[in-house]
Amino acid sequence: MKSSASIFAGAVIAALATSAFAGGEVNLYSSRHYDTDERLFSDFEEATGITVNRIEGKADELMARIQAEGVNSPADVLLTVDTSRLSRSKEMGILQPIDSAILEQRVPSYLQDDDNQWFGFSQRSRVIFYNKNGVTDIPQTYADLADPKYKGMVCIRSSTNTYNQTLLASIITHTDEATAKAWAQGVVDNMARAPQGGDTDQIRGIVSGECEISVANTYYFARALRKDVKGVTADIDKIGWVFPDQSGNGAHMNLSGAGVAANAPNKDNAILFLEYLASDQAQKYFSAGNDEYPAVSGVGLSPSVAKLGFFKPDDVDLSAVADNIPAAQKIFDQVGWE
């Protein structure tokens, strides 16, 4: 019996060979703003002969643009960050279900939309960082962040941030809305300052002394391990980290994913592009180029990511989490999480 890897290899080779003769183009709308993604696109073009025409912008703007363009939209693929936006794209009717044995085989089921309208291709874990010189009783779970003993110590982004929206939605999925609301209220009570800035700013807050504890995605910290990041790298030895809930559900994972646009004029090429993103070659580059975790199991990590250590990820069904995002936003509003 052939291994899944060898089956995949044969399928993708056949697909690439076919597309190389067909050529053509694929129109990509991307809210990923990383220069390192250039390598993903150029490698796909070289392997297939398909030209990648790329439009970049903020996720919400690109989603609204596809919707406004309607049946005349040139968009073939929407590539964006976070389950909340992928879910909202589906609700807006700007994606379509696709049939791909390669994606079904390569991408874990919990990182796929239940109706095959979007697939995850890279992940970031949302972890707890702390001041190694100031915190002796280190929080080990997301629930701990709401413990009154950490009052005035926690820095975390605003409630409008998609990473926090999916984190709270995952808590709802695992527990219930009442538990999630109590947690959110406890975190607000423990904030060292009003939410401000991005994830890197939460980590910088530890270095500056504004916070003793912060919450951020792993790739912001791994990047500071790999290269100089102002306000972090020079003092990175002061910062410790914890992958939360290792005795429970596991650490929450944020997703970067893509789907085929509802009116894609180059649907076959769009599907091939998504299948390429699930290849070992592309998966390795998500880690090496942008300090992310591959979505496909068995793909090696870059040194900067590997330095963070092994951990148990939360494998909750992200389609279920997406369903609870509206409830999460309502809770944020109720507890006054700015």
Q: How far apart are CA 117 and CA 290, in angstroms?
A: 25
Contact 123, 292 (CB under 8 A): yes
Fold match, 4-123+255-305 / 124-251+318-335 = yes
Residue-wise pLDDT tens digits, 156-185: 999 999 999 999 999 999 999 999 999 999
Contact 261, 270 (CB under 8 A): yes
Find the mean pLDDT for residues 279-305.
Answer: 92
Q: Quick one: fold of 124-251+318-335?
A: D-Maltodextrin-Binding Protein; domain 2 (3.40.190)
Q: 120: which DSSP letter?
A: E
Range 231-236 contact pairs with CB under 8 angstroms and sequence separation of 24 or more: 231/200, 231/204, 231/207, 232/200, 232/203, 232/204, 232/207, 235/207
- 132: helix, strand or coil: coil
Amino acid, single-letter form, for residue 109: S
Q: What CATH architecture is 4-123+255-305?
A: 3-Layer(aba) Sandwich (3.40)
DSSP notation for 152-175: T-EE---TT-HHHHHHHHHHHHHS
At residue 2, the pLDDT reads 36
Residue-wise pLDDT tens digits, 39-65: 889 999 999 999 999 999 999 999 999
Q: Where are the domains positioned within the chain? A: 4-123+255-305, 124-251+318-335
Tokens for 136, please give them.
């002796």
